[in-house]
Amino acid sequence: DTAVSQTPKYLVTQMGNDKSIKCEQNLGHDTMYWYKQDSKKFLKIMFSYNNKELIINETVPNRFSPKSPDKAHLNLHINSLELGDSAVYFCASSHSVEQFFGPGTRLTVL
Amino acid sequence: GNSVTQMEGPVTLSEEAFLTINCTYTATGYPSLFWYVQYPGEGLQLLLKATKADDKGSNKGFEATYRKETTSFHLEKGSVQVSDSAVYFCALRPPVSGGGADGLTFGKGTHLIIQP
């Protein structure tokens, strides 16, 4: 059984489009996260949700918006996509110290 | 703020060689420390962790010891294999606050290449 899953695995789209990436965890964790990994493999936290409340919002453009319909899901919506948004986006979840990561979504903006 | 510094690669070794990947951190208090591994085309897997000073995390022949005095968490393995080729990330999580929702701060990753 997959613990943290993301869809789609690959996403290719044009500049200016709006897209969403979905994340689901079946671990019963209270907290979920989104990370961005750039072309140099550098990973940075974007958002976290704890009990459906946004806890962290780093210096991320407001074109990015996390949406959590319930504790098991944290989706990432991106409006007006730009070339610089091309990256691999990872979802993660945690209950205490350890974080479990999804397989990633590779977003390519043309 | 919090930060993690690790040696940048690529690091190329022969099979059965001894591995050390250095990692140092800056943080207030006593963070939890982690090593994650990313195999080509895959997501991040937790390799090992340590949550307090002098703890030693170990898994699959890899070890790392939480050294508060030197703010370090170096990754070691006595005899590497070709299958260990991957990118290794050192990361920290601040001491858990009331909300407990702090994200991980990652180093830039070290690309390890093991040659037969």
Nearest to B44 among A42, A58, A101 (CB): A101
Contact A6, A88 (CB under 8 A): no
Tokens of B115: 């040659």
In this prediction, residue B101 has a pLDDT band, given cuts at 50, 70 and 90, of: low
Hey, are the CB atoms on A43 and B93 less than 8 Å from each other? no
Nearest to A97 among B38, B51, B111 (CB): B51
Nearest chain A residue to B35 by CA distance is A98
Nearest to A101 among B43, B49, B101 (CB): B43
Residue B1 has what pLDDT?
A: 82
Residues of B within 8 A of A56 (CB-CB) are 101-103
Residue B7 has what pLDDT?
A: 87
User: A49 vs A14, A43, A62, A86, B39, CA distance in Å?
Assistant: 29, 18, 16, 23, 27
Strands (E) across B61-115 are located at 62-65, 75-77, 86-93, 105-106, 110-115
Residue A1 has what pLDDT?
A: 64
Percentage of the residues of chain A whose pLDDT score is greater than 70: 97
Q: Looking at chain B, how many residues does it have?
A: 116
Residues of A within 8 A of B111 (CB-CB) are 41
Phi (first) and psi of residue B73, to 5 degrees: -155, 65
Percentage of the residues of chain A whose pLDDT score is greater than 90: 72
Q: pLDDT for B62-86, tens place per residue?
A: 999 999 999 999 999 999 999 999 9
Q: pLDDT for B6-62, tens place per residue?
A: 988 899 999 999 999 999 999 988 899 999 999 988 889 999 999 999 999 999 999
Phi (first) and psi of residue A102, to 5 degrees: -80, 180
